[in-house]
A and B are shown apart, each in its own frame.
Chain A
Amino acid sequence: MDKRTNEEWVADLRVGGDRQAQALEDLRAIILRGLPYAIAGRIAPNSPQSEALTEEVVQETLMRVLEYLDTFEGRSQFITWAHKIAVRAALTELRRARWREVPLPEMEASEDVDTSYRELPDEQASPEEQLSRAEMMSRVNRIIMEELTDKQRQALTAIMEGFPLEEAAQRLDTNRNALYKMLHDARLRLKKRLEKEGLTPQEALSVFEQAGK
């Protein structure tokens, strides 16, 4: 039965005994209906890998629901709240499996900023456009080298390479929330420094957009 009100869900899960067991069983069925949406397109459905993941995620979700039951404030349907926990657990596992073998990109610290961001000439860009793009890259690279810590640069590099925040955080011995804060601080520092140098991100962006036209 999944027609319980929020209050009934919380009460049944708290009470213990048969009522709690039945509520957990019902919640398990609900989570199982949602998990295929997390798995779809990420691993083959109905594969042994998918079945193992599903079981692990369901168990973990039920445990977390019980553990964090007191934090449910009723601002959504209870089952939406439970699905949210399941989605986080499933995607965390899937990201771990997908990125496990991929090394975190190494950032090469270099004082020789002029050699950074070299690329082959864009045949569609005029020599002047290529020149201003190269100058802008060199300038931004210098700012990045001067303003950010090694860890911030490494995190930024990882994110630019498409690393999930969660995975990058684990490799950098931190957690996702702290890494987001660290990257936010890095972005703010870069933005303020650009502004101090009389340059807005939009102006810098326009140099590359023009070059790409």
Chain B
Amino acid sequence: MKIKRFIHRLFGSKQQKPSLGGTSANPSEKMQKIMAMLSATREVELTCDEVFALLDQFTELAAQGADVRKLMPLVQHHLDMCGDCREEYKVLANILQGTA
């Protein structure tokens, strides 16, 4: 009963007061997302500008079927972490595929 009361105290209120992540998504989903991000975090990562400088080369190699994860692992890692750069990569890849 003690545990039940404690859980009720923790979860019983419908009023949320998130200090991170707003209110629009399940907090545990956000927590999973944060932990997944931390798990993938590396000491050294390329920035968006550094990836942008290499993105044309990377996209051409990928379009040719090269193992870019092996050839350009830091670029691939950044694309895994950065939604903006990943979106740009996907559009560029589609252009190469569609206009080749």
Size category of the B interface is 35 or more
Contact of A118 among B17, B30, B33 (CB under 8 A): B17
Question: In the complex, what residues of A have CB within 8 A of residue B17's CB?
Answer: 108, 110, 115-116, 118
Task: Decide if B55 touches A180 in the complex (CB within 8 Å).
Answer: no
Task: Decide if B95 touches A201 in the complex (CB within 8 Å).
Answer: no
Residues of chain B having any CB pair with chain A under 8 Å: 3-4, 6-7, 10-11, 13-22, 24-28, 30-39, 41, 43, 45, 47-49, 52, 54-57, 59-60, 82-84, 87-88, 91-92, 94-96, 98-99
CB-defined A-B contacts under 8 Å, sample of 8: A84-B52, A116-B18, A117-B31, A131-B10, A153-B20, A187-B38, A208-B32, A208-B35
Residues of chain A having any CB pair with chain B under 8 Å: 30, 33-34, 37-38, 75-77, 80-81, 83-84, 87-88, 90-91, 95, 105, 107-110, 113, 115-122, 127-128, 130-131, 133-134, 136-137, 140-141, 144-145, 153, 156-157, 159-161, 164-166, 176-177, 180-181, 184, 187-188, 190-191, 194, 200-202, 204-205, 208-209, 211-212
Task: Decide if A37 touches B91 in the complex (CB within 8 Å).
Answer: yes
Question: In the complex, what residues of B have CB within 8 A of residue A130's CB?
Answer: 7, 10-11
User: In the complex where A107-B19, A144-B20 touch, is A34 in contact with B84 (Cβ < 8 A)?
Assistant: no
